[in-house]
Structure 1
Amino acid sequence: MCGERCHIVCSQWRLWIRPLVFFLYGVIILGFVPYLVYTLVIQGIDTFLIAWLIGGIFVFMAIPITIWEIVQHLINYTKPKLQKHIIRILWMVPVYALNAWLVLGFPKWAPYLDAARECYEAYVIYNFMMFLLNFLDDEMDLDATMETKPQTEHFFPLCCLKPWRMGREFIHRCKHGILQYTVFHLMTTFVAFVCGQAGVYEEGKLSPTNFVAMYCLVLFYKAMRRELDPMSPLAKFLCIKAVVFFSFFQGVAIMFLMKAQFMHNLFGIVDDSPESEAKERKTASILQNFLICIEMFIAAVAHHYAFSYKPYMDEEYETGNCCHTFLLIWDISDVRSDIREHVYVVSEGMKRRLTSRGGGWPGGATAVGGSNGGDEHTRLIAPHAHSGSQGTHRYMSTSDSEHDIVIEQGEGSDPEDMKAI
């Protein structure tokens, strides 16, 4: 009898595994962590070592949540054009968490680890913009739909600027704002790394490029809010913004508090000597990375719900090999083609303005598309029933590997078999 019950319980593991995991996480956060802190303080362990150990607990609770979500997307890889960007975004939590935890334990590695993290940060914002464009481009003729929209004005305090003309120009300006952030952030990260090695770089400086990138995302969302509603863009946008910008402003705030000597008594900094300044920078770095370790656990839970794999589940669709799919995620030739295409568009736009041959951007719209109702799962799994346009997809970024798959399937497969490509 006991053997049969155990077999039934094991066979229905999907029903109890999630509550069990949440219960264990709750026990660790509410019980084990406070007990560990109390024990270490009583034993007189160094405060920085305590921060490293506690940060590690939260990091290694956050990473399994993200890995689980990534694996589920790979198993249910029914919409490669969208899910490849989602998986790239989900990797942000492990990258941030491991970076913060390793910098806590090995401060000498900080320049190298922070440079890698900032490069991936720019990559994530680019992928989120492409995720939005690919979703809309699969549903409608995006250029024509945008042209039918009422004029989108700039936000305060930029409301005095001339609005971007709706249509292809508006889309490309938003996309350009993201691409310039991706390219220039890589360049400035390299410069900051070199200057840091030379000892002439100071952390906590503001950079205008990340504000431009996020501004373009917000403006694009404002223009296409109704069309994006079925895929719950606000939750996804807030997850990206919280991780990238909250951690950035948090670091700036900590540096400000240190410079203003509001936290000197708390961390035992007593004078303005060079040794105290070095301790001030070290303490600010430790506090920032410790908080990121804890926040990445919260971010992992938020990403689990915001970028869920469930809308992409389709029992009738046969997905390919997960290992092959995983390798496709890291093919960044689509980024290269997007940058090359946009450089061409910008150069053509400049030529038009210089020669006064009109204000339009190259490649205008040719047909009007629409957007139908339905939730995220319905519109993603059944695009043939909810698609507003069967024309060419202008904004779908395709990597070289994916292009080869499309060609191979197009030569010997049914059109129905290609619906997820």
Structure 2
Amino acid sequence: MIEAYQGAFMEEDGTTEDSTAGLRSNAAGPTFGNSRSNSTTKHGLTCNIICENEEEEEGDEQLPPRRTDLPFHSSHDEYVVKCSRRLLYVFYGCGTIFAAIILWQIISQHKQRHVIAWSVGAIFVGIAVPFSLHDIHMHTMHYVNPKLQKYYIRILWMVPIYAIESWLALRFRGQKLFLETAREAYEAYVIYNFYMLLLHYLGGGQGVRDILKAKSDAGDKTVRLLFPFCCFRWKRSGQFINRCTVGVIQYVIIRFFLAFITCLVEYMLDHGLGQREALEQTVFAILIIINVSQVWAVYCLVAFYHEFHYELRAINPFWKFVVVKMVVFLSFWQGLLFSGMAREGMLRPYMDYSKQDIASGIQNLLICIEMAAISVAHKYVFSYKDMEIIVEPNKMKPHPSWAAWIDILPWDVISDFREQVFNGFGLRRKMQKKNRSPKSGVGAVTSEVSTLTVMNTHVVENRSTLAAVV
């Protein structure tokens, strides 16, 4: 019965034998014990291929065993993968012994509080970084979908960068201003990559527009926004995706540039340059701008997820969104909270550490601890095993590991960014309209040609009259 349905699906949709093979493989059910849906993904769109009656009829049939001869399972670097796992266990064993020695020295020698913070932060960084590097390594070993996996890897790099940067800022407070600025810039980069991951899974900008056009042709031509803008509607004819794109990209731009402006202002405050009251007001204004921009970016991401949650369900976007939001946005609110506590006098100076130094130190220590938990969440949320569900088995083609390290470099960011900005702000349409010849211009040219014709006629008549007189 499944084969009959697949034949009808081929006649209706014009799929090839390769697509049929992918459908038959997916109809057998997903592997790794994952029961998300008995569905197949074609160009990022998930379509059901078994109705409820067919499931009841096929329920007694035994599913075929999981195939292990596919490129996803028979990795060309399987030996390296096994060695990576063993080295990870050895590293954590040594790390546990190292952590016990550090704690014993802290307790026995009665170290000062800032030394305790350094040691505790180092322990959690030692837990988070290897865990995330192992996930990145597994993606490179099973690199079968470069278009999506490069975004996975870029997001996974967030944990090592955050953890190491926060510990360095905790340990070397003289350079914390520049280190924290680099972390804030990477926050914007993570948001961009997460949005592009969802967008490219759906087939890119054109694929999303095709989905919206299909929904528009099927019924409602507008999208009702979520609270508190539920009274407004965005058109499905490109307006929705363009405004969501602008909503995300504006935060990336604002966060990136204001991070460097904040760095400059904080540097002036620390060295007594300029009027202190004016600089503090500038910092407060920057925080308000970042907060408003951040809230709008989150709203656009939620609206995007709400509109395409059915098409995105194969990659479990909800938990991906939660994890990214926890890392990127929780760090901002933590920093804002501790800075406010320092200004209100709730934090006291310690040795040669000022109240702001204490606030930054607590913030960086918490990030080191949080990264250990986030690294565990990333192992399940951004797992390389997602590719087995996303990519059809007959289309899995393993790529060399070095290709992954080249693809994660941000060469494509500039071109993607330019394309999304042009589409989002409507600049492409404006340029096309500008290049077109307006009617007034054509009329002016026509009138000029007519004038020249009349003038030539008068010249000919004058010549004829002159010849007759002569």
TM norm structure 2: 0.62
Q: 2:250 aligns with which of 177, 180, 188?
A: 180
Q: 2:164 aligns with which of 98, 101, 113?
A: 98
Separation of aligned partners in 1, 2:143 and 2:85: 23
8 Å contact kept, 1:89–1:124: yes
Contact 1:144 1:167 in 2 (8 A): no
Q: Distance in 2 between matches of 1:139 and 1:114?
A: 33
Determine if contact 1:177/1:216 at 8 Å carries over to the other structure. Answer: yes
| CA spacing shift, 1:262–1:189, aligned 2, 3 Å | closer
Structure 2 residue 394 is matched with structure 1 residue 310: no
Is the counterpart of residue 43 in structure 1 residue 134 in structure 2? no
In structure 1, how many angstroms separate the alpha carbons of the residues matched to 2:410 and 2:335? 32
Deviation at 1:38, TM superposition (A): 6.2
Aligned residue type for 2:202: L
Larger-Rg structure: 2
Indicate conservation of the 8 Å contact 2:140/2:404, yes or no. yes
How big is each residue's C-alpha offset from its partner over 1:36-86, in whole Å with a ceiling of 9 and x where there is no partner?
446414422111111111101111211111111111111111111100111
Distance 2:371 2:261 in 1: 27
Deviations 1:321-369 (A, max 9, x none): 322330221033x2212232234332448849x99xxxxxxxxxxxxxx
Equivalent residue, structure 2, for 1:228: 312
Q: Is the 8 A contact 2:84 2:134 kept in 1?
A: no
Aligned to 1:378: none
Corresponding letter in the other structure for 1:308: S
Counterparts in 2 of 1:141 and 1:290: CA distance versus 1, 3 Å: closer
Q: 1:168 to 1:139 in 2, by over 3 A?
A: closer
Letter of the 2:329 counterpart: F
Match of 1:323 in 2: 402
1:287 corresponds, among 362, 372, 384, to: 362
Residue of structure 2 equivalent to 1:251: 335
The answer to whether residue 241 in structure 2 is matched with residue 171 in structure 1 is: yes
Distance in 2 separating the partners of 1:21 and 1:316: 33
Q: CA deviation at 1:125?
A: 0.4
1:205 matched to 2:284: no
**Structure 1 regions of 5+ residues with no counterpart?**
1-10, 270-274, 356-421
The structure-2 alpha-carbon separation of the partners of 1:77 and 1:253, relative to structure 1 and needing over 3 Å to count, comes to same
Partner of 1:154: 225
Q: Which has the higher contact order (CA 8 A, sep 6+)?
A: 1
Separation of aligned partners in 2, 1:310 and 1:184: 35
Q: 1:113-128 alignment to 2 at 5 Å?
A: 113-128=179-194
1:198/1:132 CA distance change after superposition, 3 Å: same
1:162-184 residue CA offsets vs partner (Å, 9 max, x unmatched): 32212421111111111122222
2:326 to 203, 217, 242: 242
Aligned partner letter, 2:387: Y
1:135 equivalent in structure 2: 201
Say which SS state the counterpart of residue 152 (structure 1) adopts.
strand
Distance change in 2, residues 1:45/1:155 (3 Å): same
**Residues 59 and 98, structure 1, Cα contact 8 Å, conserved in 2:** yes
SS in 1 for 2:233: coil
Instruction: Using the TM superposition, give the Cα deviation of residue 228 of structure 1 relative to its aligned residue in structure 2, in angstroms.
Output: 0.9
Q: Which secondary structure does the structure 2 equivalent of 1:320 belong to?
A: coil
Structure 2 match to 1:385:
none
CA distance in 2, matches of 1:122, 1:215: 16
- Matched-pair contact (CA < 8 Å) for 1:25–1:61: no
Aligned partner of 1:339 in structure 2 is 417
Q: 1:230 to 1:139 in 2, by over 3 A?
A: farther
Alignment CA distance shift 1:46-1:326 (3 Å): same
How many residues are aligned here?
Answer: 330
Secondary structure of 2:170's counterpart equals helix
The residue that corresponds to 1:56 in the other structure is 122
Report percent identity of matched pairs. Answer: 34
Cross-structure match for 1:111? 177
Residue 192 of structure 1: which of 262, 285, 293 is its match? 262
TM-score (norm 1): 0.69
**Which whole-Å deviations, capped at 9, do the CAs of 1:73-108 have from their partners, x for residues lacking one?**
111111111001111111111111011100001011
- Equivalent position of 1:5 in the other structure: none
CA RMSD in angstroms comes to 3.5
